[in-house]
Amino acid sequence: MINGYIQLTKLLDMMDELDENGLPVRFQISFVTADRKKKTGGEIIEVKGARKCVVGNRNGKPVFDTREKAGASGRITRPPNHWANSTRNIILPNGGIRTVHIRLIIEFNNKKVFF
């Protein structure tokens, strides 16, 4: 890690860390929006106090967002497949959930991201 910069792999490891209560640690993140289907994006979003999304608890350990879940319609939606899509779900301070493409993260904990 170079002063003022953080490598993407280190950033992803830091997102996976847990605090003393067994919850994902809070972090600050800035990323660029993009939607190929709608042909929109380019907005820079900054979130302070975000956490990696956890969907449950198994044997006292958090289960991260990797399984199928019921959407607003109550139907099971497809799994997020974060590895193949290079995405992560984060929980915003207001409780909302946002999907972030990891290659569009430009800043993490006030450090610029490089690959």
Which amino acid, 54?
V
What is the pLDDT tens value at each position of the chain, 115 positions in all? 578 999 999 999 999 898 898 889 999 999 999 988 999 999 999 999 999 987 655 555 555 554 445 455 445 456 677 777 889 999 899 988 899 999 999 999 999 999 8
Q: What's the number of domains the chain is made of?
A: 1
Provide the token pair at 35. 């939607």
22 within some domain: yes
**Residue 56: what pLDDT?**
57
By CB atoms closer than 10 A (0-12, 13-18, 19+), residue 93 is exposed
Residue span of the structural domain in which 107 resides: 5-64+75-114
Distance from the first to the final alpha carbon of the chain: 11
Annotate the chain with DSSP letters as a single string. Answer: --TTEEEHHHHHHHHH-B-TTSSBPPEEEEEEEEETTTTEEEEEEEEEEEEE-EEEEETTEEEES-S--B-TTSSBPPP--HHHHTEEEEE-TTS-EEEEEGGGEEEETTEEEE-
52 within some domain: yes
31 within some domain: yes
98 within some domain: yes
53 within some domain: yes
97 within some domain: yes
48 within some domain: yes
Provide the token pair at 97. 């959930």
**Residue 22: what pLDDT?**
81
69 within some domain: no
